A and B are shown apart, each in its own frame.
Chain A
Amino acid sequence: TQLLEQSPQFLSIQEGENLTVYCNSSSVFSSLQWYRQEPGEGPVLLVTVVTGGEVKKLKRLTFQFGDARKDSSLHITAAQPGDTGLYLCAGVLPPKLNFGKGTSLLVTP
């Protein structure tokens, strides 16, 4: 059973476009994390959101945690080719970290 559902599974856009990736669950998490993974490498942490309704910004990336702490979204403004990668959300149910299947993003020049 997949605790976290990510959508879309694949996304191919052109440089300069905006996009939103969603991470949904029926479970309540103590916190939620977003990672980015490039081919041949391990995932790298982008952000942790803890409080329901919390919004965090990392340059052109905006992360939001749902009020009920069950879902989250990642919005990228003016995507660049360097944003290409696999984006993974992960919900914390201590002591475990449960991952979604990921959204594979391709940004073409």
Chain B
Amino acid sequence: NAGVTQTPKFQVLKTGQSMTLQCAQDMNHEYMSWYRQDPGMGLRLIHYSVGAGITDQGEVPNGYNVSRSTTEDFPLRLLSAAPSQTSVYFCASRQGADGYTFGSGTRLTVV
């Protein structure tokens, strides 16, 4: 089925470790975004991309890097994990003014 695929679904990291959350979409969407969702905080934008080779910061970019080398893939890198990055991370993609299609999320715990 077409959609947005996120891996892994669950991850536990130690403070200071680095990792990459993977996101891939097969709908040829131009826009892709990463959000984090925390209780009582809603969805907050981390980074977004309007096309291959173009990325920009969202509301809470510190501690995260992204790249967009292809239309399909938009990985999110945690450089040095901190307990404050414990969250559920969602990747989403859209085309033009259409609504976002979200992945099923990655639940990350940093201990």
Q: Which of B41, B43, B58, B102 contacts A44 (CB 8 A)?
A: B102
What total of A-B pairs shows CB separation below 8 Å?
55
B residues less than 8 Å from A96 (CB atoms)? 45, 48, 58
Contact flags A22-40 to B (C-beta < 8 A → 1, else 0): 0000000011010100001
Determine if A91 is an interface residue (Cβ-Cβ < 8 Å).
Answer: no
Q: Is the CB of B105 within 8 A of A99?
A: no
Give the docked Cα–Cα distance between A67 and B43 (Å): 26
Q: Is the CB of A88 within 8 A of B90?
A: no
Contact size range, A = 20 to 34
Q: Is the CB of B42 within 8 A of A102?
A: yes
Determine if B103 is an interface residue (Cβ-Cβ < 8 Å).
Answer: yes
Contact size range, B = 20 to 34
B residues less than 8 Å from A88 (CB atoms)? 42-43
Determine if B25 is an interface residue (Cβ-Cβ < 8 Å).
Answer: no
A87: shortest Cβ distance to chain B, in Å?
Answer: 12
Give the docked Cα–Cα distance between A42 and B91 (Å): 9
Q: Is the CB of A41 within 8 A of B99?
A: no
Determine if A55 is an interface residue (Cβ-Cβ < 8 Å).
Answer: no
B94: nearest residue on chain A (CB-CB)? A97
B3: nearest residue on chain A (CB-CB)? A42
Listed in ascending order, the chain A residues whose CB lies under 8 Å from chain B are 2, 30-31, 33, 35, 40-45, 48, 50, 88, 90, 92, 95-102
Interface CB pairs A-B, < 8 A, 8: A2-B42, A35-B100, A42-B90, A42-B102, A48-B98, A88-B42, A90-B43, A99-B42
10 nearest A-B pairs in the assembled complex, by CB-CB distance? A42-B102, A45-B99, A101-B42, A99-B43, A33-B99, A99-B42, A95-B50, A43-B102, A42-B90, A42-B104
